[in-house]
């Protein structure tokens, strides 16, 4: 025991060093998403995350967008608690039969114009859960999807790239007040 305590006093931490906070790619992407949102919508982009049955791997990456490193709120992207305040629904997971109705209600409760982003391989076509008796399938089996972001799970930067592509292709006529 004494040996262990002694060793722990001098052993270096096993964790990897944190990435630098001024990551250029992150800053560039997140700023671009925030700017395009303000140009197209006239305000910040509000996102509601919906877990339709995922393993939570995709949620971990989505939550990372709000952590101290990514902190996308400083660029004008907000995660909101209600679909009534959302512009974008980010949906993860294969849609389970138990979540089908909840996903439909969430979609109906989101005001127009709205966009749906299916995040992760499971959201595309059921992924590794496809064919399960408990699963309906990909998100597009239940609601219309505007963009798929592949990956298992996709990295936060891939999600920002997807949001940017989505906003850049949004027809400005569809967001006119």
Instruction: Please say whether the beta carbons of 128 and 122 come within 8 A.
Output: yes
Piece of 38-46, 49-57, 74-82, 164-172 that binds ligand SF4 (CB under 6 A)? 49-57
Q: Closer to ligand SF4 at the Cβ: 104 or 152?
A: 152
**Binding window for ligand SF4 (CB under 6 A); candidates: 1-9, 55-63, 70-78, 134-142:** 55-63
- Residue among 36, 58, 99, 160 that touches ligand SF4 (CB under 6 A): 58
Residue 90 within binding range of ligand SF4, rule CB under 6 A? no
Nearer to ligand SF4, 57 or 113 (CB): 57
Q: How far is the CB of 123 from ligand SF4 (least distance, A)?
A: 7
Among 76, 153, 156, 162, binds ligand SF4 (CB under 6 A): 153
- Which of residues 76, 83, 120, 137 is near ligand SF4 by CB under 6 A? 120
Angle at 75 between CA 72 and CA 81, to 5 degrees: 55
User: Is residue 122 at the binding interface for ligand SF4, with CB under 6 A as the rule?
Assistant: yes
Binding interface with ligand SF4 (CB under 6 A): 54-55, 57-58, 92-93, 120-122, 127-128, 152-153
């Amino acid at each position: 025991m004494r040996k262990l305590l002694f060793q722990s006093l001098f052993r270096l931490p096993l964790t990897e060093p944190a990435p630098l906070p001024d990551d250029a790619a992150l800053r560039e992407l997140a700023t671009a998403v925030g700017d395009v949102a303000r140009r197209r919508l006239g305000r910040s982009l509000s996102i509601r995350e919906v877990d339709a049955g995922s393993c939570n791997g995709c949620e971990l990456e989505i939550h990372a967008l709000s952590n101290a490193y990514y902190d996308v709120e400083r660029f004008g992207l907000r995660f909101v608690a209600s679909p009534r305040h959302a512009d974008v629904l980010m949906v993860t997971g294969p849609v389970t039969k138990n979540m089908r109705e909840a996903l439909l209600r969430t979609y109906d409760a989101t005001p127009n114009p709205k966009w749906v982003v299916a995040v992760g391989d499971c959201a595309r076509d059921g992924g590794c859960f496809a064919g399960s008796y408990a699963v309906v399938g990909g998100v597009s089996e239940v609601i219309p999807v505007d963009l798929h972001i592949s990956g298992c799970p996709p990295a936060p930067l891939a999600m920002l790239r997807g949001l940017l592509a989505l906003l850049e292709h949004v027809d400005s006529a569809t967001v006119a007040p």
